[in-house]
Each structure stands twice: as C-alpha cells, then as structure tokens.
Amino acid sequence: MNTATHIAIIMDGNGRWAELQGKNRVKGHEVGAQIVKEITTYCSNNKDIQRLTLYAFSTENWKRPKLEVEFLMKLLEQYLKRELPVYLENNVRFEPIGDLKAFSKSLQKTIKDVEEKTAHCDGLVQSLALNYGAQNEMLRAINKLKNTQETITLPMLSDALDCKQDVDILIRTGGDHRLSNFLLWQSAYAELFFTNTLWPDFTIGELESILKKFTKIERRFGGLK
C-alpha cells in the first residue's frame, strides 16, 4: 500500500469562489488562507505526511491587478506573523521556496523570521511556494552549478533545486487540468488529482478521499509490476 510523504497543492479558484458570492476576489484569498491553516493542521497530525507544498504566489501572479497583488502580499505577511505560534505548537517547520528577492524587505524579513524560528521543528514541513515557478527554479539551479568542473548528475541537479523531495500526490482545485509551472521536476512520477472544488470549499474530507485513492494506485515508476 502506498503512503504519501509529499503532497503538493495548486490552490486555485479563490477569485471565482468570491465572485460567485457577489464579493470581491480578495475575499476568496482571505478564506483561502483559512483553508491553508486547516489543511496544514490536518497534515501535521498525519504521521506519514512529511511535506506539504502549497502554491501561494507564482512568478506569473505579478501580472494581476496591483491591488490584488498588494492584498496577497499583506495577507501573506499577516498570515505568517499570526500563525507562528501555531507552527510551533504543531511542530511544523516553515520552509519557503521560490525567488524571494522580489518581495518587499519587510515581507522578506517576516519570511526569514518564521523560517528561523521554526527551524528546530521536526514534524511536518509546510513549504509555501512564493514567487515560485518551476522553470525559474531550474534556471537558478543550473546557474548555481554552471561553474562546476564535474559532469552534472541527476542528484546534483535535484539537490540544487529549492524543493529537493519528489511529490507523491499533486492536487489542483478549481477545475483546470494543468500544472501551471509548479514543481515540474519533482512531479515526474506524482499521481495527479484534479477537482472542480474551488479552494475555499476544499475540505479535509476531500483530502482524505484523495489519500485513500492514492493508497490503491499501483505505482510502477516506469518499471513493471
């Protein structure tokens, strides 16, 4: 029976969720942040799950209206500050991935602070993908390695990436069937789950049902049974 150690989620559908209720798109992000908390707490209580990687802001999300980008930045900073005691209480290590230099000094400081203060936690790793794009991640990894004299091997490249752990389950909410530049290297053999549920409506029950389906999948990794 399979056990999932790394779950990755593309949290899509916040804007549509809010619009369906006649609310501003940003309300969807606010409720979405609450779901991040619930799913993280659930995963921190599941002994098999080591890592939860969540796509919170992509390298392409800067193209959104300025006010929405500003709201997301503020929400992220508030979330990290508010959740620090919860990370500690649940023994969750916070680990950002992505190119963080693009963020304001204040947000960078908050990210670093939460990362440092939870560095000793040895339960779940909650990894937020922030200004993250898989192509950008691979490019940065290649640039890190380009001056090495050795022939670059798979483990060397893998180790130079921000996220070094293969994904077991990749979930996308919101109805679209695409990967949107998320963890392309690490998802080489991930099992993909697409749901029409909009992220603010995503529940622990739906995650449990995905985990149950995953246990029954025959994973061959290119080999034979």
Would you please indicate which residues are annotated as catalytic (active-site) residues? Answer: 12, 61
Work out how close the CB of 182 gets to ligand FPP at its nearest, in angstroms, rounded to a whole number. 11
Which residue, 43 or 56, has its beta carbon nearer to ligand FPP? 56
**Residue 196 carries which DSSP code?**
-
What Å distances lie between residue 116 and 84, 119, 219, CA to CA? Answer: 11, 5, 36
Nearer to ligand FPP by C-beta: 49 or 96?
96
Strand order in the sheet with 125-132: 93-94, 125-132, 51-58, 6-10, 169-172, 191-194
Antiparallel, parallel or unpaired: β 125-132 and 169-172: unpaired
Under rule CB under 6 A, residue 92 binds ligand FPP: no
Distance in Å, CB of 130 to ligand FPP, minimum? 9
Please count the other Cβ atoms lying within 10 Å of the Cβ belonging to residue 214. Answer: 18
Nearer to ligand FPP, 14 or 186 (CB): 14
Q: How far is the CB of 29 from ligand FPP (least distance, A)?
A: 4
Contact 8, 183 (CB under 8 A): yes
> Looking at 6-14, 113-121, 140-148, 215-223, which segment touches ligand FPP (CB under 6 A)?
6-14
Region near ligand FPP per CB under 6 A, out of 31-39, 44-52, 188-196, 205-213: 31-39
User: What are φ and ψ of residue 104, in 5° steps?
Assistant: -60, 155
Of the candidate residues 15, 96, 98, 133, the single one contacting ligand FPP (CB under 6 A):
15
How far apart CA 172 and CA 178 sit, in angstroms, is 8
Return the residue of 4, 11, 125, 134 that touches ligand FPP, per CB under 6 A: 11
Q: How many residues does the chain have?
A: 225
Build a one-symbol-per-residue string for 173-202: x at contacts with ligand FPP by CB under 6 A, - elsewhere.
-x------------------------x---
133 forms part of the interface with ligand FPP (CB under 6 A): no
Task: Say if residues 103 and 129 touch (Cβ distance below 8 Å).
Answer: no
Distance of alpha carbon 127 from alpha carbon 183, whole angstroms: 12
Interface with ligand FPP by CB under 6 A: which residues?
11-16, 29, 32-33, 36, 56, 61, 75-76, 79, 128, 174, 199
